[in-house]
Amino acid sequence: MLSRFAKAFLATTVLLFLLTVMAFIHPNPMSYVDPWTGNLFGEGGVEKSLPRPSDDLPGPSSNIVHGTVIMPKLANETAKAALGRATWKLMHTMTLRFPEHPTPDERSALSSYFHLTSRLYPCGECAEEFQMLLKKFPPQTASRRSASLWLCSLHNEVNKRLNKSIFDCAHLDDEYDCGCGDEPIKKTPSPSSDPMDLEIDPSKDDLTGV
């Protein structure tokens, strides 16, 4: 016969064993066991000694913003011309909507955008020319006026090389007016006002169809 002490010791041992088994069968809900290594990942586990995924991602350093061209050459001349027109319209509209009194962060964002565009522009040879222009004429971001006139001057540098007419920068607002203004007018949405409706031709009048 076992003594009362022996029975208590045995019961305690069995209870501890069951608790240990339960801990492995039902680990912390914020943890998991790696099936390949058997390591327990989670709160208090080995994951604290491993680098976070975000640690492996480079931040927006100067090397990234001012790196070399990434894209290859674009042989399709039709696609190249269409891409150029769309990109100039985007950038001109952007500078014309830029704040009159930008913060340092906003100025840095616009400058970084132009430099990143010179790396990621789908036409590699065009991107190389854009990079050379940015080195010769760095982005001016002190105000909306300085940014828009700087970009217009840069555009005219390209026009000179292509033997195109020089654009009068005094008429930028007329040429690249987005129609949105500084304060968008609130109006009742209609089926034709959805910008994601690709079936609509914005160049046609709703009444005449012309």
**AA letter at 12:** T
Beta-sheet pairing, 40-41 with 32-33: antiparallel
Band (pLDDT 50/70/90 cuts) for residue 175 is: confident
Element at 54 (helix H, strand E): none
Report the Cα 204 to chain-centroid distance in Å. 33
Give pTM, 2 decimals.
0.59
Q: Are 191 and 197 in contact (CB under 8 A)?
A: yes
- What pLDDT was estimated at residue 58? 45
Q: Are 43 and 28 in contact (CB under 8 A)?
A: yes
Q: Which residue has the tokens 């036409």?
A: 123
pLDDT, one tens digit per residue, over 39-63 is 555 555 444 444 444 434 444 567 7
Three-state DSSP class for 198? coil
- What pLDDT was estimated at residue 55? 38
Least confident window among 28-32, 50-54, 197-201: 50-54
Structure tokens at 33: 């066991």
pLDDT, one tens digit per residue, over 134-172 is 999 999 999 999 999 999 999 999 999 999 999 999 988
Report the Cα 102 to chain-centroid distance in Å. 20
11: left (phi over 0), alpha (psi -120 to 50) or beta: alpha
Residues 6+ apart with CB under 8 A from 192: 200, 206
- What pLDDT was estimated at residue 131? 96
Tell me the C-alpha to C-alpha distance, in Å, between residue 83 and each of 20, 54, 89.
65, 34, 10
